[in-house]
Amino acid sequence: MNEEKKTLIVNGQEVEIGDERNLLELIRKVGIEIPTFCYHSELSIYGACRLCIVEVEKRGIMASCSTKPEPGMVIHTDTKKLRDIRKINVELLLASHDRECPTCVRSSSCALQDLARRLGVEEIRYKQSTKKAAKDKSSPSIERDPNKCILCGDCVRVCRELQGIGAIDFVFRGSKAMVAPAFNQDLGQVECVNCGQCAAVCPTGAIVPHQDREDVWNALHDPDKVVVAQIAPAVRVAIGEYFGLPAGENDSGKLVNALKMMGFDHVYDTCFTADMTIFEEATEFIDRFTKGEKLPLFTSCCPAWVKYCEIYFPELLGHVSSCRSPQQMFGSVARKALPSQLNIKPENLVVVSIMPCTAKKAEAQLPKFRTNGRPDVDFVLTTTEVGRMINSMGIQFQDLQPEAFDMPFGFSTGGGVIFGATGGVMEAALRYAVEKVQGKPLEKVDFKAVRGMEKLKEATLDVAGNQIKVAVVYGLAQAKKLAQKVVSGEADYHFIEVMACPGGCISGGGQPMLKHPETRLERIKGIYAADKEHQLQKSQDNYMVEKCYNQYFGGQPGSHEAHHSLHTYYQNRSQLFDAKVPVLRGKAEERLPITVTICANQKNCPGQMLLALIVDFVKKSGYTDRVDIDAAFSSRPQPDGTICVTIGDMVVDRCAFTNAINTEEQLRNHAVFDAIEKKITQALAD
């Protein structure tokens, strides 16, 4: 042992101590993979699973994840005692685990299965618990099975630390302990933003992306349906990992081939509408920057970020770009263009998205993204879902020859491809906006200041004598800090990109599980390599997008037709309800939802009186069949007895409903009744 070098001994080998946080990182550095469930280098150290134990001479058995390296330590990573303890731990976990492994979504990538095999667990000596908890399939993005949870806490920490939300946590104690949302509600009822990072770190099948494979198979097997697919940028650099190919390899051509073999009629590239997004979003930014209005502009491509903003920062919704995400733009383009191009009936067109993201599943189901009563995007498959489908057909993915995307919506530029990495949307927009503002072609298309894995990246550009300040963030906890500065006036950015997942879409909740953090870097490297493989790297050079504008969207970005089909609006979701009780139900197909909060513990609650008045108003106005009215209860009481009324997607000013307004005469004169009448009149006109 050489103390000057600060070394220790691992299994008889001298190892130099560097900047490692703990023994686990140091031991892995020398090529020994210590088993663990609860350790992630990007999250706080938790020490729950006790599988990473090592034996330190003169100190005994210690958890390597929570023990700092010290010079002179003599460490053994695999003794009989350690092996026996690990096997017992795994057996105990399996004894309380739902062992329906052959039918589990995570069967091929389950850490519990893998460790059981590694440790030689061939029988379980402990009685299995027979009590089962109900599965939670309330979310359109994520499925939760408490019976497969091993209480490692990975999902709890990633939700709290990376996203700053805490939609799930530990509840109950002892043998009844479990991970669940507050008040043991379903995920679909709480402030979950559908990012899927909980599924990305879950070592078992306790939390997985919602599965849509069977619905897609049914569509593929229907002879009357024409099924088309769009492939997101980040999928192409991760799908190969599912089949043992190197991370970051661009396998879009192989995936196109596989989808055609599965029965998809046409396969397009989401990068096409990523280019179109830049046409719209950069135009929107230039207009706002020129006028100095509603700055900074936030990007809108990440549906998890959009929902987060709707819940926690509704005051910033006017600053979020009104552009639809590339997925939803493609859905709109497909519904408008493909029936005539393919000579089919609109109702026979089925649009399937292949995405790295679980939040895209929820986005596709939003009522605002429907055409003639049908969703613009019918189904969303994650990268791992489509991998399972390819496997189920016996297709040898690694041996496939690449095939090209179908035209015209398979043509894209490098600007569309880089959407898959953090900073990519910003860089693509800058390639467009800087060239337009300068009025001459860019000499260099790379804006490397917005690239990289830093959680916050900032840059100031001098463009035609103007200073443009931009920022790029990933992780909603980091986005929260930035949003707070924007609200308080501390930040003076002009343009901000936000992505919920680490490194951007390349780490979406539907991607193959990351075995090493370096995999993210390989995927990002693959994204920028794909950018360079394109002959055109600026979205504005995509002549197929220009042709699409001329045919279907008024000839140019920002036109009336483009705004109607390619833009959207947002909903204030700042009021969350724990429970609702139906009060009145209409019979019309399209009905206006109205919700009034009731304070059960408050004497003479104005909400109760207002609810009665609203019901009376609706009946007397002849709107009974046009509305659904609910009484809502919330565990998040507002100050001074304030209550909340929502009418459709509008939240009525809560400050108007306080204890000071508690007489029937005052409530009858409130503007809420005009708002209801206006909303219903609009609905009837539509």
The domains located in the chain, with CATH, are 7-78 (3.10.20.740), 89-209 (3.30.70.20), 214-566 (3.40.950.10), 579-685 (3.40.30.10)
pLDDT at position 666:
59
State the pairing for strand pair 374-375/370-371. Answer: antiparallel
For residue 634, count other CB atoms closer than 10 A to its CB.
Answer: 16
- What confidence tier does 673 reach under pLDDT thresholds 50, 70, 90? confident
Give the closest residue to 651 by CA, choosing from 359, 297, 315.
315
For residue 68, count other CB atoms closer than 10 A to its CB.
Answer: 11
Give the closest residue to 39 by CA, choosing from 13, 65, 61, 18.
65
Residues 640 and 658 sit within 8 Å (Cβ to Cβ) = yes
| pLDDT tens-digit series, residues 181-229 | 877 788 887 889 999 999 999 988 889 999 999 999 999 999 999 999 9
Mean pLDDT over each residue of the chain, to the nearest integer: 86
- What confidence tier does 531 reach under pLDDT thresholds 50, 70, 90? very high
Residues 296 and 319 sit within 8 Å (Cβ to Cβ) = yes
Per the rule left: phi > 0, alpha: psi between -120 and 50, beta: everything else, 60 is left
- Give SS3 for 428: helix
pLDDT at position 517:
83
Give the closest residue to 112 by CA, choosing from 132, 86, 130, 137.
86
Q: How far is CA 79 from the centre of its chain?
A: 42
**Phi, psi (5° rounding) for residue 222?**
-90, 115
Output the furthest CA–CA distance in the chain (Å, rounded).
Answer: 89
Write out 291-308 in H/E/C secondary structure.
HCCCCCEECCCCHHHHHH
Identify the DSSP state of 237: G
Can you tell me the distance from the alpha carbon of 641 to that of 663, in angstroms, rounded to the nearest whole number?
15
The answer, yes or no, to whether residue 313 has pLDDT greater than 90, is no
**Phi, psi (5° rounding) for residue 238?**
-130, -25
| pLDDT tens-digit series, residues 395-426 | 999 999 999 999 999 999 999 999 999 999 99
| pLDDT tens-digit series, residues 326-356 | 999 999 999 999 999 999 999 999 999 999 9
